[in-house]
Amino acid sequence: MERKSLKTYAINTWCPGCGNFGILNALTEALIGLMEEDDLEPHQVVLASGIGCHAKIVDYVNINSFYSLHGRVPPTISGIKLANPELTVIGHAGDGDAYGEGIEHLIFAAKRNIDLTFIVHNNRVYGLTTGQFTPTSPSGFKGRSTPQGSPEEPFNPLEIMLSAGATFVARGYSARIKHLASLIKAAVRHPGFAFIDVLQPCYTFFNTYDYYNERVYELEEAEHNPLDLEAAFSKAREWAYGPGERIPIGIFYRVQRPTYEERLLKGRVPVKMSPQGLKEVLESHL
């Protein structure tokens, strides 16, 4: 699999310097690795996105994809997975998208432990609508909707996902592309709901590169046991999206539990339809 075969003809419209480029490169590298190492075929993968700058990522990767509604990526990809459990399904969402409009969907996807990968492009601002605060913006954030500074504290999505029952919880940084690619590969290989919050600077409305570059460090297996839920909470609290000196990235928590579809489909035969059969059903409804 060559990198260029995953490119599309779409012209990239992200701002120069946007952290989304790092996520796109990491995703591409992860997909190439999965195709070479696990014999994953492009037609076995589906990408979906929500609404926001992040959502354009599906235009730039030559893989079957679906534009969802704002905050509705988790139910969309859950439906895709339940319709065909053999697919590898990867959802992308922004922080406003996932943690604002769609937080209830995200919590229930994690609770059910559906075998999905969910990647949040967390720039901590609504970029596409020119700079409003989101649930992970720091207190005092000044933007179009909070010119005096946000009076709210951010919440910590890692703690929410750990509480909700996600069986794989990780944080990456868009400027550490190889590390992020390894997280995406591990998330796709994980049998269950795999969540990655990616620190993604918005170069135009909330440029956090210097802040992260000074603080981000990679978790080492020797110092952190991802099987230990209490240790995962403790590491997640080391930086709670507010002030802080050190920001851990890596896999915080990874355990195996039966997936939702394993429980749901136990003893049942998934209904499969040939392309011709599907065409006939669709045509009968036109």
* Residues in contact with ligand SF4 by the rule CB under 6 A: 14-15, 18, 20, 53, 123, 127-128, 202-205
Q: How far is the CB of 249 from ligand SF4 (least distance, A)?
A: 19
Q: How far is the CB of 18 from ligand SF4 (least distance, A)?
A: 3
Cβ neighbours of residue 177 under 8 Å, at least 6 residues apart?
22, 25, 26, 29
Cβ-based nearer residue to ligand SF4, 18 or 186: 18
* Cα dist from 135 to 12, 139, 199, 229, whole Å: 27, 10, 14, 24
d(CA 186, CA 205): 31
Q: How far is the CB of 81 from ligand SF4 (least distance, A)?
A: 28
Cβ-based nearer residue to ligand SF4, 193 or 203: 203
Cβ-based nearer residue to ligand SF4, 168 or 205: 205
Cβ-based nearer residue to ligand SF4, 116 or 198: 198
Q: How far is the CB of 253 from ligand SF4 (least distance, A)?
A: 27
Give φ, ψ of 126 to 5 degrees: -80, 100
Cβ-based nearer residue to ligand SF4, 17 or 258: 17
d(CA 171, CA 198): 6
With both helix axes pointing from N to C terminus, report the angle between 157-164 and 103-112 in degrees, rounded to the nearest 10. Answer: 40
Q: How far is the CB of 265 from ligand SF4 (least distance, A)?
A: 38
- 206 close to 131: Cβ distance less than 8 angstroms: yes
d(CA 119, CA 74): 11
